[in-house]
Structure 1
């Protein structure tokens, strides 16, 4: 069974990302945000492009405050049992700007526990209706 702290990490990271894009976090918090990702992290975004950790860091660095009013909703989180120290979670993520339409994506995340903290190892996102 997946540790409930891994389930909490899905929400916690997305709160940080929402705060980053809304500039509710200072620019100096980039290291705090990036500390949630493993050194070998990679993701495939909804556009189908694979990004490594350095590319994700560059994306965040260049987009601080770039989406004022962004709201991120996470729902339907499902855990799949994997051997420790890994966790795999599927979830549905919606992004919208305040009262605007929400664009949904289906996400599959693999997290690895390192030194007692869940860190993101891989993320795959697919656009969803």
Structure 2
């Protein structure tokens, strides 16, 4: 598989994502359901935004690993949050984690009224290719 980042500008570089990712010669594509701060029994984890982001990223990583993928295969990351104002102060930890795995994906951030459970603050949806 070959990945090409498409960035007509440079401002997104400091935010750790790409405007678009072109994938050629991919043999497999993984479409992941949204991952939130849920424990192994499907119970929401009581935590603040920082804790829920860590838990959601851990769950994304568990799904990727179980399917035989890793962060370098991720081409799209969609973030859904109940509060962009609470999300952005914690985003640096997300950027650091993605950079650690050389992950630069096309991304979208959307504020929503609610997620599946009332105490969930963030959900992350991923597409990966290899």
TM-score, length of structure 1 as denominator length: 0.30
Greater share of residues in strand: 1
TM-score, length of structure 2 as denominator length: 0.30
Relative CO higher for 1 or 2, CA cutoff 8 Å, sep ≥ 6?
A: 2
Greater share of residues in helix: 2
